[in-house]
Amino acid sequence: MEIENSTNAGKTLSGSERKGDLIKVRAVISCPTCNYRRAFKNQYHRKQIELMVVSLKVFDWMVCNKCGELLHLNLEFKI
């Protein structure tokens, strides 16, 4: 997944990529004990849903590098 403030945020879709085929995901990870917060975003084709699942499983087990607490994962989908 890309960091939210990426330079690729302004990319447009080519004619062969229909909007209905893309799933846009925004993942926000935050620490419940300290103030760590980070947002990432990416888009996946429906036929590549396995890539999204693998990415989310990795995010789900991340821990805070400041305090070692398991991070909360909040997802926003735009289908």
- Whether 63 maps to a domain, the answer reads yes
pLDDT of residue 47 exceeding 80: yes
Q: Is residue 65 in some structural domain?
A: yes
Answer yes or no: are the C-beta atoms of 31 and 37 closer than 8 Å: yes
Q: Which of 6-10, 55-59, 64-68 has the highest mean pLDDT?
A: 64-68
Element (H, E) at 60: helix 49-60
Give the chain's domain count: 1
Report yes or no on 60 lying in a domain.
yes
Confidence of residue 74 (pLDDT cuts 50, 70, 90): very high
In a domain, 6, yes or no: no
**Strand 2-3 to strand 22-30: parallel, antiparallel, or no bridges (unpaired)?**
unpaired
**Boundaries of domain holding 59:** 21-78
pLDDT in tens, 23-34: 999 999 999 999
Residue 34, in any domain of the structure: yes
Q: Is residue 12 part of a domain?
A: no
